[in-house]
Amino acid sequence: MATLSFFYFGGVIVLTAVLVVALRNPIYSVIALLVMFFHVAGLFITLHAEFLAVVQIIVYAGAILVLYLFVVMLLNLKRDDSYQRQVWLGVSLGLLGLAEIVYVVLTAGRATGPAIARTTQVAAAGAPAASVTPGNTEAVGMALYTTYLFPFEVASLILLVAMIGAILLVKKGIMGPEAR
């Protein structure tokens, strides 16, 4: 059952990822990316990361893709959107990188299999701390607000800077012909 769901979610993720890159109409690309985000959320659920699955749907599908759709529709793009001339070079580079990564993962997985198993055992030995917190959301919250409190604050600073930057960039008279 777990294998079946992995291959379903993984297959749809790969298919829609290729569609995002290959489709010529930007709206279709954005819709394909939406389908991919939902299936990534499904993959997260099979990995017992329910909180992240919900956050994935809310933030990516709900906020980020709506932003993309707004921009695509605001710009009212023409359809003459073709590929670069070096398509074959890019695709062959990608296939070469994929072959390398598959080779490394498969050989390294055989070589260090016991090491990973040992790490899992060590982590499982330290598991009582995790079993105190019953659910996934509680565990993520505990780690986020205790161990990773400082990175959490830095992330909020990043969001603040992004907000100010976005407002400044689209403000009239800063960039564009009317600024000069």
Partner 1 sequence: MVPLSYYMILSAIVFLTGLVGVLIRRNIIILLLSIELMLNATNINFVAFSYYLNNIAGQVFVFFALTVAAAEVAVGLAIILALYRGKATVNVEDLNMMKW
State the nearest-atom distance from the C-beta of 114 to partner 1, in Å: 14
Secondary structure (3-state) at 85: coil
State the nearest-atom distance from the C-beta of 134 to partner 1, in Å: 13
Do 37 and 65 contact (CB within 8 A), yes or no? Answer: yes
Q: Which is nearer to partner 1, 3 or 114 (CB)?
A: 3
Tokens of 153: 């604050």
State the nearest-atom distance from the C-beta of 153 to partner 1, in Å: 11
State the nearest-atom distance from the C-beta of 108 to partner 1, in Å: 8
How far is the CA of 35 from the CAs of 16, 19, 61, 111, in angstroms?
7, 11, 9, 36
For residues 123 and 142, what is the distance between their CA atoms, to the nearest angstrom?
Answer: 17
Q: Which is nearer to partner 1, 74 or 134 (CB)?
A: 74
Q: What is the DSSP letter of 180?
A: -
Q: Which is nearer to partner 1, 56 or 134 (CB)?
A: 56
Tokens of 161: 């800077």
